[in-house]
Structure 1
C-alpha cells in the first residue's frame, strides 16, 4: 500500500490530538487540506479511520491499530533526517526528496555543500595542501558514511511501508493499562510502560517484557509486533517498555531502566494478577541487546542502578534476542560486505551509546557487550538473526550462541535466510510466507545437529510457552 509520509503525518497529527487530549477528546476538522488528506487515507484503507460529527471526532478500531505504525514510521524517518543532516559536517551530504532519502557525494562546487574537511597528516605537503593519502582516506570514510545513510534509508522505508492490520477472528478481550510510570530517573523524566492484561484468565499470568529497538537512540512504545493479538489474547501479560535514549543518558542508563521495569512489574504482580516467578523478555536490535543483558546480569547488584523497587529481583526466566548486538568491540569486524561501519561515524548507535568510538573505550564497550557477561548457565535463549543483516552482522548472534554453548546454557540460534534487519519491528511475520531458517541448538554443552526450519510468528510464542507456562493452562 503506497502511503506517503505526508499522509501519515496528517493522520498522526489528528490521532495524536485525540490520543493525548484525554479531557475533551474533541477536535474541529475545518482545514480543507487536512480533511482531504484524511479522506485520501480512508479511501486507501477502504474503511473509516475516524468517527466524526459536527463537533466531535474519535478513532475507529482500524485507526487505533494504525496509530502506532504511523508514529513509528514518522519518528523513524525524522530520526534519519536529523541524523543525515548531521552528516554534512562529516563530508557525506544526504538530501531529502519527498519521502525518500538519497545519499550523494557531490563535488566541492555544488551549491550549499560543505566540502570534505581538510586535516593534516603525515607526509610532505606543498603550499598547505592536504596529503594525498589523507584525502583518499577522508574520501573513503565519506563514501562509507554515504552507504550507511542509504542502508538506514532502506530500513526506515521498510518500516514506513507496513501494511495495515487485516481482519482477525474474535479473540478474548484484553485490558490495556497505558502510561504506567515505573521509574523516575534523575535525567530524562519519568519512564512509562503499557501493560496488556488478558481478561478471564485464571491464576497469575506469566509476563513477557517487550523492549523495542532504535539504536539506543529511541525506544518508543508501540514500535514492535502486535503484542495484544500475538500474546495477550493468548493468556500472557505483555509489558511494552520504554527506556532512556543515549542522547539523554549514556551507558549503562539503558540497562538500569529495563531492570527497573522488571522490578516494577514484580512489585505490582499481586495487584495486577502477574506471575512474578515467570517473567520473560523479548527485544529487537538494541532491545535484543538489552534483553540479553537482562538475562545475563540478573544476579549482579552492581548493575541494578537506582531506578526504584530495590526489594525486587530483575532476573528473567527466558529471553528472545532478535538481531541484537552482542559484542560492541567487534561490530565492524563482524559486518557483512557493504554493511554499516560504526567506528568512523559519531552518529552511529554504538558511538552514541558509549559517548565515543569503541576503539577508544574498550573497557566500556566490553561492559556493554552481552558476551562479556556469560559466565555460567543462564536463562534459556532464543536468538534470531537474518543472514542478510547489513546493520548488525549475523556473526554477532553467533558469538553469543557460542559463548552460551561454552557456558553450558540452553540456547537456540535461528539463522533466517534472506532476512535483513528489523523483521520484528512490523507485522511482516504475520503477512509474508514463512521464511526458511537453519536452527542450531545447544543444551548443557551438547550441540544438536543443525536442522532446517521456518520462521513464523508462532515460533516466539512456542518458546515462551515451553519456559513460562509451567502452571499455566490455556
Structure 2
C-alpha cells in the first residue's frame, strides 16, 4: 500500500483530539487531596487574559514532609495553553503515595513560538522551588511527567539542565530549574526525521508549514534546521542527565515510534541513564500503552553506565512500576522487611507475612508477591486478597490496612496445602520492591 500523508489541517485536529484523550480515558475519577490550590500565577499572563502561566497545586493528606513533587503537563500538539488539565487525575494516583502534584500550563504555539514553552516550564519549576517551604515541598526531589507534546516538554526539562539559552527570564529567576527524574509518553525527539519514520500506511505531514512542529518553531521545519535542532530533546543528551523512562507504541500514527528509538540510542551512546519501553500494537494513547492485554509483550531496553540490558515483558506499564521508577530517581529510600512464619500439620499449614516499611516514604496501597518452590496452594486468606497462579502469589491489601507509614507494619495470614517440601519463598516483593527477609 502506498504511504499517504494527511493534510495539515486535518493533522492538527487529529493530533489535538488524540493528545487530549490520552489521559482522561486512563484514570479513575480524581480523589480529594488535602488541599487543592488552582490558578496560581507563576508569571504574569502573556498575552493578558491567557492561561499559559498558571499552575494548580495538589497537596496530599498523607505522607511525610517535606513532600516530593511531581509536575504534570498534558499534550495538545502545542495548541493549548491549558496543559494543567488532567493533573487532578494524576493527583488521584500520586497524592495517596505522598507526592505533591503540580499541573503546569505553558503558552500555546499560537501565543508564542519556541523556546517560549521551555522557558515557561522552567519558570514553573523555579517558582515551585522558590516557594517550596511555604507548601512543605522537598526542593531536592522534583519529578516531571507528560504525554505527547507534554512528553516533549518533560524530556526538554529533564535533559536540558544548565542550558542557559533555554532558561529564559519568565517569572522567578535565580533559582534552579533542575528536575531529578523524568517520565515521558510518546514524545517527538527529532523533528526533521519524523516524516521518514511514518508508518507504511501513512502518517502526519510533519514537514508541512501548518504542522504542529512547524507552528511551534514559526517556520516550516525543513527550512529552519538550526531552530529544529534547538527544539529536539536529543540535542541536549549527555552522561550527566537525570534518569529518564519513556514509553512509545509501535503503532503510533501521530508521533512515530522511531522517535523514541533515536532518543534511546543517543542516550546509550552518551552513557546516560534511560529505560525505553516499546509497546506493540499501541497507538498514541496512554490507555493503549498501559493496556493489560499488552503486559509481557513489551520490549524493555535499559542503559546505564555504558551498559545495556534488553528484555521482553520485564517492566509492565503500570502505575506501581512508574512509582517505583520515580522514587528510585528521587532517591526516596524505598525499603522493606518481611517476616514469614508458618505453623505446619499433616498436608497443610498456616502462614503469616508481616511487612514493615523501613523506608522514608509512606505506602498507601500495597501488594506483596512471592513464588513457591514447591506445590503449596493457598486455600483461604485474611487481612489481604490473595490470588495464586501456578507458583506465583500476589497478596493485595484488604482496604482497611492499606496504609503503612515509615517504620510501621501490616500483616496478612493464610491457610494452604502442601505435600513434600515446604521451603520458605526465596524472595518477597512489596509493590515491586525486593524486601529483606528477617527471621520470625
Q: TM-score, normalised by structure 1?
A: 0.64
**Do residues 241 (structure 1) and 120 (structure 2) align?**
no
Match for residue 473 of structure 1 among 329, 348, 361: 361
| Structure 1 partner of 2:186 | 323
**Are residues 1:457 and 2:345 paired?**
no
Is contact 1:339-1:391 (8 Å) kept? no
Structure that is richer in strand per residue: 2
What is the aligned partner in structure 2 of residue 216 from structure 1?
78
**Offset from partner CA, 1:285-314 (integer Å, 9 cap, x none):** 111111111112111222111112212100
SS in 1 for 2:313: strand
Q: Which runs of 5 or more residues in structure 2 are unaligned? A: 334-359, 363-440
Q: Which moved more, 1:197-206 or 1:228-237?
A: 197-206
C-alpha displacement at 1:449, in angstroms?
Answer: 2.7
Is contact 1:377-1:404 (8 Å) kept?
A: no
Q: Give secondary structure in 2 for the equivalent of 1:226.
A: helix
Q: 1:398 aligns with which of 261, 264, 275?
A: 261
> Do the aligned partners of residues 430 and 384 (structure 1) sit closer, same or farther apart at CA in structure 2, a change above 3 Å counting?
closer
Q: For 2:36, which of 176, 198, 201 is the aligned residue?
A: 176
Aligned to 2:58: 196
Query: For 1:194 and 1:345, how far apart are their aligned partners in 2?
Result: 35
- Report the Cα distance in structure 2 between the residues aligned to 1:434 and 1:219, rounded to whole angstroms: 33
Distance 2:321 2:90 in 1: 14
Looking at structure 1, the residues matched to 19 and 246 of structure 2 have their Cα atoms a distance apart, in angstroms, of: 23
Q: CA deviation at 1:149?
A: 7.3
- Give the drift of 1:157: 9.5
**Aligned mate of 1:367, from 218, 230, 233:** 230
For residues 141-174 of structure 1, what are the alpha-carbon distances to aligned partners after superposition, in whole Å with 9 as ceiling and x for unaligned?
A: 88655884795598379669948947x9xx8853
CA distance in 1, matches of 2:28, 2:324: 22
Do the aligned partners of 1:201 and 1:235 also contact (CA within 8 Å) in 2?
Answer: yes
Q: What's the CA shift for 1:422? A: 2.4
Partner of 2:367: none
**Residue 269 to residue 234, structure 1, CA distance change in 2 (3 Å):** same
Once the two structures are TM-superposed, the CA of residue 366 in structure 1 deviates from its matched residue by: 0.3
Cα shift at 1:202: 2.3
Contact between 2:119 and 2:168, CA under 8 Å: does it hold in 1?
Answer: yes
1:355, CA displacement in angstroms?
1.2
Alignment of 1:54-69 (within 5 A): none
Please say if residues 12 and 77 of structure 2, whose CA atoms lie closer than 8 Å, have aligned partners that are also in contact: no
Aligned length: 329
Shift of 1:385: 0.4
Contact 2:268 2:303 in 1 (8 A): yes
Q: Alpha-carbon deviations, 1:380-404, whole Å to 9, x = none? A: 0101001110100011011111111
Q: What pairs up with 1:20-419 in 2 under 5 angstroms?
A: 144=7, 148=11, 152=15, 155=18, 162=25, 165=28, 173-184=33-44, 186-187=46-47, 189=50, 191-220=53-82, 221-223=84-86, 226-419=89-282
Decide whether the 8 Å contact of 1:429 with 1:456 is kept in 2.
Answer: no
Separation in structure 2 between the aligned mates of residue 450 and residue 263 of structure 1, nearest angstrom: 38
- Give 2:307's aligned residue: 446
Tell me if the contact between 2:8 and 2:211 (Cα under 8 Å) persists in the aligned partners: no
Shift of 1:278: 0.6
Which residue number in structure 2 is paired with residue 12 of structure 1?
none
1:186 deviation in Å?
4.5
Relative to structure 1, the CA distance from residue 353 to residue 147 in structure 2 (aligned partners, 3 Å threshold; closer, same or farther) is closer
For CA contacts below 8 A with separation 6 or more, give which structure has more relative contact order.
2
CA contact (8 A) 2:16 2:79 kept: no
Distance (whole Å) between structure 2 residues aligned to residue 149 and residue 363 of structure 1: 24
Distance 1:430 1:272 in 2: 32
Partners of 2:6 and 2:205 within 8 A in 1? no
Q: Equivalents in 2 of 1:344, 1:445: separation in Å?
A: 34
Contact 2:120 2:170 in 1 (8 A): yes
Partner secondary structure for residue 209 of structure 1: strand
After superposition, the C-alpha distances for 1:314-368 in whole angstroms (9 at most, x for unaligned) are 0110001111101112111122223433345333210110112111010000000
1:219 offset after TM fit, Å? 4.4
C-alpha RMSD of the superposition = 2.9
Q: Could you tell me how far 1:274 is from its partner in structure 2?
A: 0.4
SS in structure 2 at match of 1:462 = helix
Structure 2 Cα separation of the partners of residues 325 and 390 of structure 1: 12
Query: Which residue is equivalent to 1:17?
Result: none
Q: When you count helix as a share of all residues, which structure comes out higher?
A: 1
Rounded to whole Å, the distance in 2 between the matches of 1:184 and 1:291 is: 22
C-alpha distance in 2 between matches for 1:423 and 1:275: 28
Change (3 A) 1:270 1:448: same
Structure 1 segments unaligned to the other structure (5+ residues): 1-139
**Structure 2 partner of 1:130:** none
